[in-house]
A and B are shown apart, each in its own frame.
Chain A
Amino acid sequence: MSENELEIEQLEILSFLKRHSPFQELSAAEQLNLAQQIDVGYFRAGSDILAYNAPLDALYLIRSGVVETFRRNGDLYNRLSEGGIFGEQGLLRGKKVRFPAKALQDTLIYLIPAAAFEQLFDQNEFFADYVEVGDAERRAEPRIEKAANHQLMSAKVSELLSRPPLLLTAAASIQQAAISMREAGESCLLLTNPAQPEQIIGLITDRDLRNRVVAEALNTANPVAEIMTEQLVTVQASQFVFEAMLLMLRHNLHHLPVLAQQRPVGIIAIADIIRHESNNSLFIVSSIYQQQSVSDLAQLKSAVQACFVRMVNEDANSQMIGSAMATIGRSFKQRLLELAEQTLGPPPIPYCFLALGSMARDEQLIVTDQDNALVLDNSYDPELHDAYFAKLASFVCDGLAECGYPLCSGDIMATNPRWRQPLHVWQGYFQDWLSKPTAEKLLHSNIFFDLDGVWGNTDWAKQLNQQITQSAPGSKTFLASMTRNALRRTPPLGFFQDFVMEEDGRQNNSLNIKRRGTAPFADLLRIYALSMGSQARSSYQRLAVLSERNLLPKGRAEDLRDAYEVIAMTRIRHQAAALQQQQTPDNNVEPGQLSEFERKHLKAAFLVLANAQKFLKFHFQA
């Protein structure tokens, strides 16, 4: 280039690159360099741009127009418009066209030479991630990494410990215990086995001194072992803070002893976790148990929503959020049942209150119907007992509705007499569904296959679950019927401009992310879990079991886990965004609300789900 010749200014090409991902994220120097390497092609509407397996020497960037890409069998793979890229998979695999492309409108293409593409791919991590996202087997999910970097996720329990625990032999008197707590300024004391000073066998708190000693006028010379809490739940110092938090939530604990190599190394209290930028779901759970009426409980609705938003903003993952929300929902049920029994008097016969669906799976969100049922003792006599349980069911279901859990539109609630039956009737229901299945019969009952006892004689829930896991794996017709139902709900193909693209090329304005995403996913995982006779109930546990059993081709279970997270988090973020804008949260996601990046990930996740559904169909011969 002579000194008279200027650096070539491809102003239009450059400004286009600066407006579109993944080019807008490049450095100014990379953009300038790239703009100078681009050639241009023009394709008339209806003409072929790329033919299958033809040599490929460039990445195609749509400057204007619309392009469709296809699978080898001719199925539509993607529809792209201005700023869309195609050919990246071909460039990454032997420089041959993998997805043939056709111009749907007159289209102008900026061609990025293969060499420039490869250079960016090797040297720019963002660019590499972006173009690889289209590739289901090698997907990277930056949001998961971001969550992992968050303190709550990565912090170990050991980081919360500021001082060694206060220890005393359990042989000491109550007064000695109180003195040692006073001197150390501690509100919690660990008690050790008098024979083995390293082994802790109990714990007392300030509260115990008040409730179990002073209030009971107990002699303070008595051994402290008389008033200590035994059968301690403990956490390892090497566990994550969020695991400790979940333990405290699950058992409604205020103090959790921390062990390292079997020795007590500290105690963490709720306040420690709160201080550690945790969420406030613990507070909600504990305040649920303190409310004295349904209307008081209903006041907590906004706190639950705030907690949900806060967890999302703190980059909690879908498992943490779903589990915290399910725990809160379960606590509402339990407290309402306590209040119901206070109001109606003790139950005439034993019963078990069941949670179904997402709550049973430990993955509840903010927009969620209440799905529940009642299992009654086999001595149940409708004449004598039904009036009580009908009232109890109304009390709880109406109460839940007031607390933000709308009544189930499918009437799967304890208020429905059909779902308020003695154990033997329930066993008969499951016997019928499992041994004489039809797709139609199972269509409205698959929710019962995610079942958890939340109150009363929860052993019955375990018995029903055992019945299911014993019969399901052997019943091919049952699994095939379940599969046929599961395949009624499919994910969309992807997005085009601000529309949702369907397999047949139709476009919709919005996407029900539950119906088209998380629900078919849960259906699919449930069927696999049932087929393996697994007790795993949450989708995460079911994914882990799938991964262990090698039921799917290598790497597929991991793809499913990533894809599930992408879809679940899209739904969660959508609901959190609505709450933050003072709107009623729902499941209808409009593509316009999603970033280009989110769409790309979501599309890839839908593809994983769609492929898994095909595999499911093949697997169970549905």
Chain B
Amino acid sequence: MLYLGSQLPKAAPVDWQQRFAKLAQQSKQPLLQQYYAAGMVDGRTAIANTPLLALDLETTGLDPRCHGIVSIGLVPLTSQRVQSSQAQQWLVKPRFALTSSSVKIHRITDSALANAPDLLDILPEFLAAIAGKVLLVHCADIERQFLAAALNVRLRETLQFPVIDTMALEGRLYRAKPLTLWQKLRKQQQPSIRLAASRSRYGLPPYLPHHAVTDALACAELFLAQLTHRFPITTAVNELWD
């Protein structure tokens, strides 16, 4: 996936369990009612006991209003293991034309998508896969905005869900304090919190980016490393998600 700039973590914690219960009532779409009705873990649940699912989307560009989703990758994990053997992946035909610049990035072409379904056709499967799980994403805004926009076009309703953002977790280390004058004078820069740079700080190998399953795997590995180095597995999930 493609990344925007840095995002600071939001201040107000959301009670996602409560919100899911409410959304299950409010939603008009049976598919989404089902998704919300599957529920969400209590925010106080230890991360060790939280079902997690790394998600990555490949898109035709950066603007959810005029770009669409071309592929989705999901990789489940626990606080101990990335269950890459259980990965799932879909190619979907976007309702916007592919742009040559995005094709260069994710290498998914029109011909590859010729027989791909619309997102709507795979939505039941996708929602079933993510139901009850806490999603893990590197740079959550993209995934959130694109899924919301895609569903809004198709179902006239958006999709809300909690996300653990590995980029935000990395940002807590490096974006919490602005650079000091001394650092600026010495032309020091904030360390990058993009996926590859973050991974390398934990001794994780470089992976070729912009392939949905690989990016989801890369994100899941990064989260394991972040947990191992920085958060005890008893950490409540609401300290990590937003």
Q: Is the CB of A13 within 8 A of B204?
A: no
CB distance from B87 to the nearest CB of A (A): 5
User: Please, which residues of chain A bring their CB within 8 A of the CB of B125?
Assistant: 2, 4-5
Q: How far is the CA of A111 from the CA of B85 in the complex (A)?
A: 10
Instruction: Give bound CA distance, A243 to B90, whole Å.
Output: 66
Partner of A108, one of B87, B89, B211, B221: B221
Quick check: A106 and B203 within 8 Å, CB to CB? yes
- Contact flags B73-100 to A (C-beta < 8 A → 1, else 0): 0000000111111011111000000000
**Provided the pairs A4-B125, A6-B90, A11-B214 are in contact, do residues A63 and B85 lie with their beta carbons within 8 angstroms?**
no
Report Cα–Cα, A107/B224, bound state, in Å: 11
Can you report 13 A-B residue pairs in the complex whose CB atoms are below 8 A from each other?
A: A4-B90, A4-B117, A4-B125, A5-B89, A5-B90, A8-B87, A8-B213, A9-B214, A11-B213, A11-B214, A12-B214, A106-B202, A106-B225
Q: Which of A13, A39, A105, A113 has the most CB of B within 10 A?
A: A39
* Among A41-49, A287-295, A421-429, A512-520, the stretch in contact with B: A41-49
The reply to whether B203 and A111 contact each other, CB–CB distance below 8 Å, is no
* B203 nearest CB neighbor, chain A only: A106
Q: Is the pair B85, A39 in contact by a Cβ cutoff of 8 Å?
A: yes
Closest 10 CB pairs of A and B: A106-B203, A40-B82, A42-B224, A64-B205, A12-B207, A44-B228, A37-B85, A8-B87, A4-B122, A4-B117
Tell me whether B85 and A107 are in contact (CB under 8 A).
no
Collect the chain B residues with CB atoms within 8 Å of residue A105's CB.
203
Cross-interface CB contact of A9 among B202, B213, B221, B229, cutoff 8 Å: B213
- Known contacts A12-B207, A106-B225; A41 and B81 CB within 8 A of each other: yes
Contact partners of A8 in chain B: CB under 8 A: 87-89, 213
A-side contacts of B203, CB under 8 Å: 45, 64-65, 105-108
Is B2 in the interface zone, CB < 8 Å from A?
no
Q: How far is the CB of B198 from chain A (nearest CB, A)?
A: 13
Selected contact of A38 from candidates B84, B117, B207, B213, CB within 8 Å: B84
Q: Chain B residues near A587: list those with CB within 8 A.
A: none
Selected from A6, A39, A106, the residue in CB contact (under 8 A) with B84 is A39
Separation of A175 and B128 alpha carbons in the complex (Å): 104
In the bound complex, residues from chain B placing their C-beta under 8 Å from that of A53 are none
B208 within 8 A of A: yes
CB neighbours (8 Å) of B91 from chain A are 6
- The digit string for B221-236, where 1 denotes a CB below 8 A from any CB of A, is 1001100110000000
Q: Which residues 59-81 of B have a CB within 8 angstroms of A?
A: 80-81
Count of chain A to chain B residue pairs whose CB atoms are closer than 8 Å in the complex: 88
Assess whether A108 is in contact with B117, with CB atoms less than 8 Å apart: no
Is the CB–CB distance between B225 and A41 below 8 Å? no
Contact between A40 and B217, CB atoms less than 8 A apart: yes
Query: B87 contacts A41, CB within 8 Å?
Result: no
A151 at the interface (CB under 8 A from B): no
List A1-59 residues whose CB lies under 8 Å from chain B.
2, 4-6, 8-13, 36-45, 47
Starting from the known contacts A4-B122, A6-B89, 8 additional A-B residue pairs (CB-CB under 8 Å) come to A10-B214, A12-B207, A39-B84, A40-B221, A41-B224, A47-B228, A64-B203, A113-B85
Closest CB-CB distance, A64 to chain B, in whole Å? 4
A12 and B208 form a contact (CB under 8 A): yes
Closest to A106 in B: B203
Contact check, A40 vs B220: say whether CB atoms are below 8 A apart.
yes
Q: Which residues in B have some Cβ–Cβ distance to A below 8 Å?
A: 80-85, 87-91, 117, 121-122, 125, 202-205, 207-208, 211, 213-214, 217-218, 220-221, 224-225, 228-229
- State the CA gap A5–B117 with chains docked (Å): 10
Q: If the complex has contacts A40-B220, A106-B202, A108-B203, are A11 and B82 also in contact, measured as CB distance less than 8 A? A: no
Contacts of A106 in B (CB 8 A): 202-204, 225
Q: Which of A162-204 contact B (CB under 8 A)?
A: none
| B121 nearest CB neighbor, chain A only | A4
* Contacting pair A10 B122 (CB below 8 A): no
- Write the nearest CB–CB distance from A1 to chain B, whole angstroms: 9
Which of B81, B84, B90, B225 lies in contact with A10, CB distance below 8 A?
Answer: B84
Minimum CB–CB distance from A128 to chain B (whole Å) comes to 23
CB distance from B133 to the nearest CB of A (A): 17
Task: Give the Cβ gap from B110 to chain A, nearest Cβ, in Å.
Answer: 17
- A40 in complex: contacting residue of B84, B90, B202, CB < 8 Å: B84
Residue of A nearest to B222 (CB): A42
The CA of A39 and the CA of B204, in the complex, are separated in Å by 15
List of A residues within 8 angstroms of B88 by Cβ? 5, 8
Q: Are B80 and A41 in contact (CB under 8 A)?
A: yes
Give the distance to chain A from B127, nearest Cβ to Cβ, in Å: 14
Of all chain B residues, which has the CB nearest A41? B81
Task: Determine the distance from Cα of A516 to Cα of B52 in the docked complex, in whole angstroms.
Answer: 52
Which residue of chain A lies nearest to B202 when distances are taken between CB atoms in the complex? A106
Bound together, the chains give a CA A111 to CA B83 distance in angstroms of: 10
The CA-CA distance from A105 to B80 in the complex, in Å, is 18
B residues less than 8 Å from A2 (CB atoms) = 122, 125
Which residues from B are CB-within-8-Å of A65? 203
- What residues of chain A lie closer than 8 Å to B205, measured between beta carbons? 63-64, 82, 108
**A38 CA to B220 CA, complexed, in Å:** 14
Residues in B with CB closer than 8 Å to A41 are 80-82, 224
* A421 CB, min distance to chain B CBs, angstroms: 66
Provide the bound-state CA to CA distance between A63 and B228, in Å: 17
Chain B residues closer than 8 Å to A44, beta-carbon distance: 228-229
Closest A residue by C-beta to B228: A44
User: Complex Cα distance A19/B145, Å?
Assistant: 38
Q: Which residue of chain A is the closest to B212 with respect to CB atoms? A: A9
